[in-house]
Structure 1
């Protein structure tokens, strides 16, 4: 009697043969070997002494590891797509695969969702060349994401001039993809995103302008509809906030602040922080924003009940005259009297001075601020900041009252001088003494 041949495993059956229901399969030796080699290679790279390498080898190592990062991400995307197909998140009740993956990997949900979307896109034939370029190390992850997004953003139809609806040939998307893949060899993701927005002008010029106009109209409408501004006082002397504005408004604000923060307008001392180091750009832009608000012309602000949008600062005569005191703002918050005196020189505030019985003595004088003509005359006379050694030009200066306006000083040329924002703050800082010299210049010294 001949032996019965053993049953051959079915195609696609798991390695290791049959297992009882409910038990975990043994780890695939193929996967184990591949992962062991990956970890061994990374360990070997980590043991390389960078200090002993030539410049060329450091550059080569950086370039290759950068490419390897893209290749590894492509493999991660491939496995995530498989996990999505198998709905592995169902085992933990996750609504989406990226939620299940985020919990396992300690990635943020947003990061896991971005990679999961990219993984699903790579499974489509249209995006297969982009996936291959990433796997070959010719593309970076953010470049791949931009290319996929730009290609998917190409609509099925475009409303051409004359009200005619044109159907976009499917081959146009492939042309757009190939053009952006070629451009990725020379441009980073930021430039690719800009190119992707106008890709139809390259691959389908007859439709590109109409599509761009329609896209811009949608974006502008969305920007107008979602504009918002939020600001909160933290109770410790600072305000924090966030905003969303149309792009062209953001560009205008940015240009204004960069002009105010321009190093050419400031002295070396103004560009350094308290420790003597250079102020980072964020700090300089923050200071520029303060100057932007403080110097906004009060006559240009809208009126409510006949009054411009100004801040009213209340203080007693005693508080106004002493060095260390506080002033009350009309929103219930406080500032130092020195700060109030400084703002009274130029900013849009109305000081209200009270006597000991809280009776108003002074509600602001009409000539508190220097006129445009007076500012021009001060600029011609002083040439710029009158602090010795300061080179800030007249356009970057404030008009300061030598005899403080808050103490009865007149708003005239004899009582005025130009000071840059930094020295203007020092002039009202009780920690510093300002000395005027015969040459009309002033110096500052910290009080001991």
Structure 2
């Protein structure tokens, strides 16, 4: 890495950089334990501001270095490439710094604010990007007002807030033009987002499916709200029992997505080849009655018997029950599922999940047949009960026993 020559730097900025480096070297091994809390806080803030001031100085020198073709004497393709090689920073980082340095040369109010430490480097990056996104027909006076407006906002807003505020910048400084520009920008963003819509899914062959998707922001926000509504219980302890560790958010959101898929109403699904695109579970009669033989989805995937029995209660699947010679004995029933009105009535009667100690509300519960549908249970209010997804799974899990309690509640105990 290049360093100052032995006879020392001659330019004032170069000498200042050398002096600051020497002062920092003097305290490199100085312990900080004797700092008071107030002094440590003040020093931390000042170091942050100092890093911004150094970044502005670095940007100014970088622009000058590019103008005098630093690196050309050793065959570097550009000053940016030479800088990245000499300092071992990535070319992407060096490019971002050069981009900011060039922008600061055009936006003097931002440069002065960064030089004084009034704004941070990431704030300067956001501000200059917002200013350069202004339409070409914005006059110079309006651009100056916009620059000052964003720099003033930086005193109270971090880079994330400034990015959002910068999107509506023109509407603030020129409301009439801003409204038209916002409409054009949103239409353009929505058009590009629709063009980028993607969904890829792959089965790893070990019981899990992996996927990635890109959808427009509006639909993403809608999906997130739906999943958060499914995933957010009021009291985790009441639902999972004492001593159970709360699952991390991605895990809860994944479980919520599974529930959304399982419970999506089949009457809302489109037809494919004249048949509703409902998932069909094929299972032997003994599986539905309690045996542990695996079931098969119409996609060819295998699932456990307990999951098959649980899904057989859901409106998003149809169980195809097979006899001894694989003939179809039953393909659903007209009245297998509780209607919306029945679900509402159960909610009024039972108030939510009927498992003892659970407080999930009716809107987040499944309607379960007290006497299993496979055992001849009827889809009537007197035979129905509300169970949250966790307790509904236990109702169909052969490792648990469900016991009715006085007052209409049920309790689950693990079989021994």
TM above 0.5, yes or no, is: yes
Q: Deviations 1:359-381 (Å, cap 9, x if unpaired)?
A: 22222222221111211221122
- The answer for the alignment partner of 2:98 in structure 1 is 116
Q: How many Å separate the matches in 1 of 2:184 and 2:194?
A: 16
CA distance in 2: counterparts of 1:324 and 1:318, whole angstroms: 8
The two structures have a TM-score, normalised by structure 1, of 0.80
**How far did 1:84 drift?**
4.7
| Contact in 2 for aligned 1:341/1:404 (Cα 8 Å) | no
Measured in 2, the distance between the counterparts of 1:99 and 1:415 equals 78
1:219 maps to 2:189: yes
Distance apart, 1:99 and its partner CA: 9.8
Alpha carbons of structure 1 residues 145 and 290: separation in structure 2 relative to 1, 3 Å:
same
Distance in 1 between residues matched to 2:412 and 2:371, nearest whole Å:
16
- Answering whether residue 203 of structure 2 is matched by residue 229 of structure 1, we say no
Q: Note the alpha carbon deviations across 1:45-64, whole angstroms, 9 max, x for none.
A: 774435x5443233223322
- Uncovered stretches (5+) of structure 2, i.e. residues with no partner: none
Q: Determine the structure 2 residue equivalent to 1:309.
A: 277
**Which has the higher mean CA deviation after the structures are superposed, 243-252 or 377-386?**
243-252
> Is 1:141 aligned to 2:121, yes or no?
yes
Determine the structure 2 residue equivalent to 1:153.
133
| Structure 1 Cα separation of the partners of residues 279 and 41 of structure 2 | 57
Give the whole-Å Cα distance in 2 for the aligned partners of 1:222 and 1:99.
Answer: 36
TM-fit CA distance, 1:42: 6.9
Q: Distance in 2 between matches of 1:62 and 1:310?
A: 60
Distance 1:433 1:53, change over 3 A: farther
Given candidates 56, 68, 84, the residue that maps to 2:38 is 56
Give the distance between the partners of 1:195 and 1:295, measured in 2 at CA. 39
TM-score by length of 2: 0.86
Residue in structure 2 matched with residue 175 of structure 1 by the alignment: 145
1:371-422 residue CA offsets vs partner (Å, 9 max, x unmatched): 1121122112212111111122212211112333244433222332101122
Q: CA RMSD in A?
A: 3.3
What are the residue-to-residue correspondences of 1:339-418 with 2, within 5 Å?
Answer: 339-418=307-386
Shift of 1:204: 2.4
Length, aligned pairs only: 410
Hey, what does 1:105 align to over in structure 2?
88
54-63 vs 369-378, which deviates more? 54-63
The CA deviation string for residues 25-58 of structure 1, in whole angstroms up to 9 with x for no partner, is 95773369945843752773774435x5443233
Unmatched 5+ stretches in structure 1: 1-14, 16-23, 158-167
SS of equivalent to 1:434: strand
Per mean C-alpha deviation after superposition, the further-off stretch among 386-395 and 135-144 is 135-144
Q: Is residue 252 of structure 1 aligned with residue 222 of structure 2?
A: yes
